[in-house]
A = this chain, B = another copy of it.
Amino acid sequence: MVKQERAARTRETLIRSAAEIFGREGFSRASLTAICARAGVSAGALHFHFESKAALADVVEAEALTRMVAVIRAEFPATTSHVQLLVDATHRLADALRSDVVLRTGFSLGSEPSHPAGADLRDHWRCWVEQELGQAEAKGELRPDVAARDVVTAVVAATVGLEVLGVRDARWLSEATVSRVWRLLLPSVAPSALLAQLEAGGTRPR
């Protein structure tokens, strides 16, 4: 393995180990010693890549943001409605939160009072939901009697709730749970012609 490749791997391992330790201990109690031990690298190697614990947390958040964007921006056939696209994205995001500790910790760092506000993934998620629902509204995919703003509020509140509750109990992020929320929301969101085509359980094999 060439030197550069090895350095990249070490960096990746450190990010993952930091996410694990931050997730288990919280930012302020997490120690760089525990992170090094978890990653199997020396303190010197850690300091070569990251100048401080705060810098490491910032990188976890930034990496989590990159992963979130990759997860929610999948390719879709042009015929898919923006509402279905949003439903599918929440399913993929819930799946990813269950399996990916970097993504999960990136989100939960956002409510750690001792970690200075970094990427704030929940706010990035809110922006994305707002954009998608804005497009849905422009294309007539929302019921004429519903305001896009109401839908954004309800969808963001419900999904952030699932994310937070999922930290203690992963069943909140199961396909069944996410589908239950959408079964309840969709009839208030989409006009009946579109509603008949929508799948609360998502449309892609995950």
Tell me the minimal C-beta distance from A27 to chain B in angstroms.
8
Asked if A111 and B164 make an inter-chain contact with CB atoms under 8 angstroms apart, the answer reads yes
- Verify B28–A114 contact, CB threshold 8 A: yes
Overall SS of chain A's interface: helix
Shortest distance in angstroms between A91's beta carbon and chain B's nearest beta carbon? 14
Whether the pair A154, B167 counts as a contact (CB closer than 8 A) is: no
Say yes or no: A157 contacts B161, CB within 8 Å.
yes
Query: A59 near B: Cβ within 8 Å?
Result: no
Copies in the complex: 2
In the complex, chain B residues whose CB is within 8 Å of the CB of A124: none
Contact among B147, B149, B181 for A154, CB-based, below 8 A: B181
Query: Closest Cβ of chain B: how far from A153's Cβ, in Å?
Result: 5
Q: Does A180 contact B (CB under 8 A)?
A: yes
Residues of B within 8 A of A165 (CB): 122, 156-157, 160
Given contacts A161-B161, A187-B187, A188-B187, contact A114 B154 (CB under 8 A): no
Q: Please report A residues at the B interface, Cβ cutoff 8 Å.
A: 23-29, 108, 110-114, 117, 120, 122, 146-147, 149-151, 153-154, 156-162, 164-165, 167-168, 172, 177, 180-181, 183-185, 187-189
